[in-house]
Amino acid sequence: MDTAAGGRPAVMRRRMINVYPTRGVALFLAALPFLLLLLAYLAGSAARLADNPDDKLLPSFASIGAGFARMAFEADPRTGDVLLWVDTAASLARLLAGLAIATVMAGVFGIAIGLVPYVRTTFNGFVAVIAMIPPLAILPILFIIFGLGETSKVALIVIGVAPVVMRDMILRVDEMPRELMVKAQTLGASTWQIALRVVVPQMMPRLIDSVRLSLCSAWLFLIAAEAIASQSGLGYRIFLLRRYLAMDTILPYVAWITLLAFALDFALRRLQRKAFPWFAGRA
Amino acid sequence: MTAVSVKNVWKEYDGRIVLEQVSLEVEPHSFIALVGPSGCGKSTFLRMLLSAEMPTKGDILVEGERLPGEPTADRGVVFQRYSVFPHLTVLENVVLGKEFAASPFLGKLFGKAKKQAREEAAEILTAVGLGDFLNLYPSQLSGGMQQRLAIAQALIKRPKILLLDEPFGALDPGIRAEIHVLMLKLWRETKMTVFMVTHDLSEAFHLGTRVIAFDRPRNRPEERERYGATITHDLAVWPPKYPVSDTHIASGGTTRLLDELEALPGRPGVGH
């Protein structure tokens, strides 16, 4: 760059892969798709409402707000409950119970299968086959065995999530450099000590990653189970409201579910960074 | 002070012979440098000394005893990469060896025992020059510091044999020279028998008391399957490093070294 002549570097056209937006531009660009979606909705809603003030398909933001307020702040005349919070509590309890059981199972069995050849030979094929069963296909079986209560819904989440996370754990244990295993043995570690001090601590942050990725399917199974047989829960509510075409309530419910899912994902990411600082900093 | 005796060892993978007729007598407190072209089986040989792999035929004896079937604490190792545990700090990496021995169930020490183990580990870390970095994670260390850590980690078990698999291959020359000085010092002080695989001939002659070259005597494509590599050169390094026994010098000596050096393939100025 010739700075002597004009005191300014010569302008060079860089390749697109080397051009980055400034902070402000980045913020705007990130918000842009959301804004466009919002605008498109507003335009569509306004057009339909102009045509027919009773249109239910694309309600105005005012009626969505009213719908949300009705669910979130007013007691239901029939039950006396504030439905959004009751539904949220019921759904989160099922989701978290299912995820917790699935995570523990996947962690314990995944690491055992990945680490011990005899356990692997016995269970590896079995897990691979079980993981291929579409969980929703056995939902009727779960309803028959466990009844229509909480157990069958939690079980569906466990069955849907655990095998996938377990297989991921097996792969992650496989991925550990052989050198580390040999090194641990030359330090005198037993199998149990290797599992406890070497493998489990290294798998924990990876387990969190794996659970984060399966959050989406956990929600899917939860809402499916609630839609089919339940008296409460976010999934139950939106499927119930569908009968009344109550888009003004369904839409904020979907947004609320998305927010919850996002918050859960964010919390797990923060937990990972806080609890396993070595993981983020690794080369 | 540990003698190692390798008796007619062969290694095959699915009928493909990698090593054949490897026999070697190693005196206590030797520093053996293993050299040779890539794929000549020197790392395989090292892994057999470690019991990470088993010979197909033949025996490896340490002080007259056959090697156990898996790695044990009396043989330490430093690999080129992945030698230290990324989830433990520098200090924890070294304390770990103590904790495995003292706490079979939890693999963790508490209270006074913990304090003692940490003090001992800190001492060793100071000796390898990592005294100021006890609480960093390995990913925060440079390559040279990571290898120092790996050495310290192995040393806390006071191994009789230390196995080094191209430990300094990825380090830049200045760092490598420093770590060579450290390695020779530790070898003299601990009386370990050391085996080191290296690609670097000058490193081999600088550190080793004896340089062993592996190569394939028959290396035509059609021979490669059925003939493995074996020891083609066995050189005592002159001048002897303290404390090599007299017999070794008498049997080796300068003339033999120089003769065989001429025969080594592609020697880049062996200047030590």
In chain B, what are the domain boundaries?
1-74+162-174+204-272, 83-159
Picking from A95, A94, A88, the residue whose alpha carbon sits closest to that of residue A257 is A88
pLDDT, one tens digit per residue, over A85-133 is: 999 999 999 999 999 999 999 999 999 999 999 999 999 999 999 989 9
Q: How far apart are CA A71 and CA A45, in angstroms?
A: 22
pLDDT at A9: 60
Cβ-count burial of B116 within 10 angstroms (0-12 exposed, 13-18 middle, 19+ buried)?
middle
| pLDDT means over runs of 10, chain B (272 residues) | 84 87 89 89 91 90 89 91 91 92 86 89 88 91 90 90 89 84 87 91 90 86 81 81 47 42 45 40
DSSP state, residue A197: I
Pick from A68-82, A137-151, A238-252, B232-246: least confident: B232-246
Distance from the first to the final alpha carbon of chain B: 26
pLDDT at B267: 41
B158: left (phi over 0), alpha (psi -120 to 50) or beta: left
B69 touches chain A (CB under 8 A): no
Q: What is the mean pLDDT of chain A?
A: 90
pLDDT, one tens digit per residue, over B75-106 is: 999 998 888 999 999 999 999 999 998 888 88
Residue B35 contacts residue B198 (beta carbons within 8 Å): yes
Partners of residue A187 in chain B, C-beta under 8 Å:
73, 96-97, 100, 153-154, 157
Within 221-280 of A, beta carbons closer than 8 Å to B belong to: 276-279
Task: Work out whether strand B193-197 and strand B161-165 pair parallel, antiparallel, or are unpaired.
Answer: parallel
pLDDT at A79: 83
Partners of residue B101 in chain A, C-beta under 8 Å:
188
Partners of residue A198 in chain B, C-beta under 8 Å:
85
pLDDT at A55: 86
Superfamily assignment of A82-274 in CATH?
Answer: MetI-like (1.10.3720.10)
Check residues B234 and A208 and name the one with the higher pLDDT.
Answer: A208
How far is C-alpha A37 from the chain's CA centre? Answer: 22
Q: What angle do CA A141, A145, A147 make, to 5 degrees?
A: 105
Token pair of A26 as six digits: 């980045």
Token pair of B245 as six digits: 């026994």
**Does residue A191 surpass a pLDDT of 70?**
yes
Whether complex ipTM tops 0.90: no
Question: Is the C-alpha dihedral spanning A169, A174, A178, A181 positive or negative?
Answer: positive
pLDDT at A220: 94
pLDDT, one tens digit per residue, over A13-24 is: 889 999 999 999
In chain A, what are the domain boundaries?
82-274
pLDDT band at A223 (very low <50, low <70, confident <90, very high): very high
Residues 6 or more apart whose Cβ sits within 8 Å of residue A132 = none
Q: How far apart are CA A272 and CA A270, in angstroms?
A: 5
Closest CB to A187: pick one of B86, B100, B138: B100
Closest CB to A180: pick one of B82, B137, B159: B82
Residue B154 contacts residue B162 (beta carbons within 8 Å): yes
pLDDT at A281: 60
Percent of chain A scoring above 90 in pLDDT? 73
Residue A83 contacts residue A76 (beta carbons within 8 Å): yes
pLDDT at B252: 41
B139 touches chain A (CB under 8 A): yes
**Does residue A72 surpass a pLDDT of 50?**
yes
pLDDT at A11: 64
Picking from A220, A70, A33, the residue whose alpha carbon sits closest to that of residue A136 is A220
Domain B1-74+162-174+204-272, architecture per CATH: 3-Layer(aba) Sandwich (3.40)
Summarize the confidence of residues A191-213 as an average pLDDT: 94
Q: State whether A185 and B72 contact (CB < 8 Å).
A: yes
